[in-house]
Structure 1
């Protein structure tokens, strides 16, 4: 009788292939990025008032409104997140500027990019700036937009090497680990330099509430008026930066066609060699009888309620990622701006941050607020709802100290199995789990900040970030009401027992119970956090 192979046999059998794979990844990673590939310098539309969107912006401004104020609308549902971006895309007549950390190659993005291509065909100049880190596998096919006439696309801070696998690309870049960690996390969607959107969302099914599994809970802000020019100026600084590489310098149309062929589902034809450019991604593979989720029509911008208030944009400098290249770089960051706002709080600070790793400086700010009797409430992910468990490990180190300071901590439930409305704090149609992704700061019920930044050391030290800070009691109250609804039925409130142990308190009448350890998290996940979490420094989580 033949004996089954031993573990040592299995390792020995696969070791040569694994070694070859690792060597290939290393060699690809060690390859240099192409030199002297700076694209032509370009700027935002100089006269947005001459466009239809610019004229609509002027028409929406109430009489007597101060010249420096702008109009804002909270994008507080997944449907509105998609429909508002679609409206800007269809309404643009001159320029469309799109800047994101991640654009996923899935159904909702395919539909949105189809409208972007239609805008380019009618003469709109399209610029797409994308952080390079997530552009592998199916997501790399988004780079096909660079080969569409009328569309320019650049990748920020790219990594060398192939795009078939994120893991292999990371492995191949370990020799330049510090640079690999620095990412452009900004999010902007701007039409005709007249209307713009920023906030926490990337582009993809999970952000528009249509993913089959987990969906992200998020909030954006739509702006119209002078602050949009600040958003465009920020886009221009990043677009014209030496770290922004034209896609054509990194990958060819033929290489994208080959990659698409390797990713095509069984039986599906690969793109023909006669194509002039690779097709941008279409819907993710589905069963033949399964219809893709319905997406909303474009929002009516003329009817969308707007709140007019003073505001300003906070944005990190592009060379925050490589300050050694810029003698004029300053250390003030978007997160530093959030800390400055908190230092000025008088009554209450309400924080929503999916990845919350305070660090020493932030803990000092919290301690200062509590000495002034400022109420501090923080909503973040529970271990079960967090899509980045190691980030939760960094937060877990601070829970007891925060509670001892008097900071009120709330952890969001994963919401498994619930069929909630597709709102900013709902799981989305078809989704079985929600993961908090909103980044909101409300000071004294009168100042609100919405942006891409988390209150963690990665956002402060590693990534570039962006945020809109608006002085408006109306917007602050609307956002706070959404958050308060979550406190009522979707979160645990953290407490310390007299013995100094953590306790998760469910809201009165909730359909879930109290807990004495990270609720809804598997034993394996809890073990991983306890074993691996202490090994990583805060700024890496």
Structure 2
């Protein structure tokens, strides 16, 4: 989300400085008209595929009471291996939906596997939000020109893809639409197994970036719940906001971008070599883009093995999906309803009928509570209203609006313990977003919400969220990216959403609600370890904030944003108030 949040802030704050000629030039770029979008849907039934048979075998072997199974993917290796496994196992279809797919080493191996799958006859559909498709990352769009692969870009920005600055200018005339993004993440094979959660595709999400790696969590789902995920995918794929790549860019333009990227990278390597012994930026100051993996890190990707799905520890449990409808993002021509005529809120689902008092009935009730709301985040706030004893939240970007704060206040009034793990200023990849959290910090503490902020300077956070691997050690900075809620120790929510106004009002999101005490306990155990050993606890003492040092860290309590420079803190203090919460 770094680029999007920085883009929104720069654009909103800088629009007044743009000259009329620039605005007029930006307004000349338009999206193509009368685009053909052949309708296609997910595999009608996964029966007969190897994955469907495997799901049934695993459920029988483990005497699963419920038809859908889940595996928490809490470390980069297992998260990467699960996607490799789905690619290799797919026989008929692969459907990928992402906010960002970065053109780097880890994604390169995944996408080569996707191309190989298409060549053996697997139908591949890739749906990608258009915001990051500039420069090197635009090269991912070459997939669209591979036989057997269809690729569409959701809510595209008109104009050339050579630079972020050019894209910012092209978006200036349509700011409100351009800042709304498809934030969903799905990786589905044969409509039988799929992965959803917080991770995009890229080195930093799989623990091999040199300087900055995300701490994230996904879920591998199997069984009928995957068909719900596929229905959500189809609703976006066949939406008027999804543009086939060929309508936006051709082979020649992609080749020009590739040549330019190679030239720029060669020049950058030369500059890096000249300044290899120069001073490093002070802690907390903005850093240059990640240099990419070392040879050893790149080798680790090639050596990574697919997850053994035959021995994966599936937990069989009732679950429902929440997904924002595509119409949450307005089409270029406007509109406020889904293609099916449903209101622009959640994709409507009908869970299987259940007897009162059964676990599935409890999930149905939770689903109804949530789906009565207009968005995924609003639905989760409704669920918070049902919480009775304990609420634990991970939200890397945590910008509570009035209704969120009211939900927390009401929960506290009922005696609910509320704990939130979010990024510290030092671990936040978008420091400006930290302002929207920091301005509400004292109010949250006053109502009794417990706040924990991830400590960025650590190599061993893997003990809390699965092994981060040797590739993420050394000087790598940890950045929280998981989006998780655990309610009353029995309902686990894993999805793409943050608890912020951007996810609630602008971006589209998706989440799984899983009724499982076992999975909830596993998640809580990892979160509590992270809170104790890898995070600062923020408290109020004598009218001032104090950051309590993580357990066993040998650090001292501090009274200012830890691990940050005075320059960064001053910069945010001066300019932070200019950025409204809904853009952070």
Superposition TM-score, scaled by structure 1 size: 0.89
For 2:343, the equivalent position in structure 1 comes to: 329
**Structure-2 change in CA distance of 1:19 and 1:481 (3 Å):** closer
For 1:206, the equivalent position in structure 2 comes to: 204
CA contact (8 A) 2:497 2:510 kept: yes
For 2:319, the equivalent position in structure 1 comes to: 311
CA contact (8 A) 2:65 2:316 kept: no
| Whole-Å separation in 1 of the counterparts to 2:463 and 2:416 | 33
| Whole-Å separation in 2 of the counterparts to 1:291 and 1:467 | 31
**Structure-2 change in CA distance of 1:412 and 1:288 (3 Å):** closer
Report the alpha carbon displacement of residue 32 of structure 1 after superposing the two structures with TM. Answer: 1.1
Over aligned residue pairs, what C-alpha RMSD do you find?
A: 2.2
SS in 2 for 1:190: strand
| Whole-Å separation in 2 of the counterparts to 1:78 and 1:408 | 28
Match of 1:469 among 491, 508, 513: 513
CA contact (8 A) 2:497 2:509 kept: yes
**Structure-2 change in CA distance of 1:103 and 1:218 (3 Å):** same
For 1:15, the equivalent position in structure 2 comes to: none
Gaps of 5+ in 2: 1-16, 267-289, 346-373
SS in 1 for 2:470: coil
**Structure-2 change in CA distance of 1:19 and 1:261 (3 Å):** farther
CA contact (8 A) 1:26 1:172 kept: no
For 2:126, the equivalent position in structure 1 comes to: 128
Match of 1:108 among 106, 109, 115: 106
SS in 1 for 2:97: strand
Map Cα deviations across residues 483-528 of structure 1 (whole Å, 9 max, x no partner). Answer: 1111221111111012x11110113432322110000011121112
Report the alpha carbon displacement of residue 19 of structure 1 after superposing the two structures with TM. Answer: 9.7
| Whole-Å separation in 2 of the counterparts to 1:335 and 1:288 | 38
In the TM superposition, 1:47-446 aligns within 5 A as 47-62=45-60, 65-66=64-65, 69-265=67-263, 292-295=298-301, 296-322=304-330, 324-327=334-337, 328-331=342-345, 332-416=374-458, 418-419=459-460, 421=462, 424=465, 428-431=469-472, 432-446=476-490
Report the alpha carbon displacement of residue 38 of structure 1 after superposing the two structures with TM. Answer: 3.2
| Whole-Å separation in 2 of the counterparts to 1:290 and 1:224 | 34
For 2:580, the equivalent position in structure 1 comes to: 537
Report the alpha carbon displacement of residue 408 of structure 1 after superposing the two structures with TM. Answer: 0.3
| Whole-Å separation in 1 of the counterparts to 2:467 and 2:457 | 8
Match of 1:497 among 534, 541, 555: 541
Map Cα deviations across residues 426-446 of structure 1 (whole Å, 9 max, x no partner). Answer: 665344101000000000000
CA contact (8 A) 2:68 2:221 kept: yes
Report the alpha carbon displacement of residue 285 of structure 1 after superposing the two structures with TM. Answer: 8.3
SS in 2 for 1:109: helix
Count of aligned positions: 505
| Whole-Å separation in 2 of the counterparts to 1:486 and 1:288 | 27
For 2:3, the equivalent position in structure 1 comes to: none
For 1:480, the equivalent position in structure 2 comes to: 524
| Whole-Å separation in 1 of the counterparts to 2:186 and 2:137 | 19
CA contact (8 A) 2:210 2:293 kept: no
CA contact (8 A) 1:220 1:450 kept: yes
SS in 2 for 1:98: strand
CA contact (8 A) 1:425 1:486 kept: no
Superposition TM-score, scaled by structure 2 size: 0.83
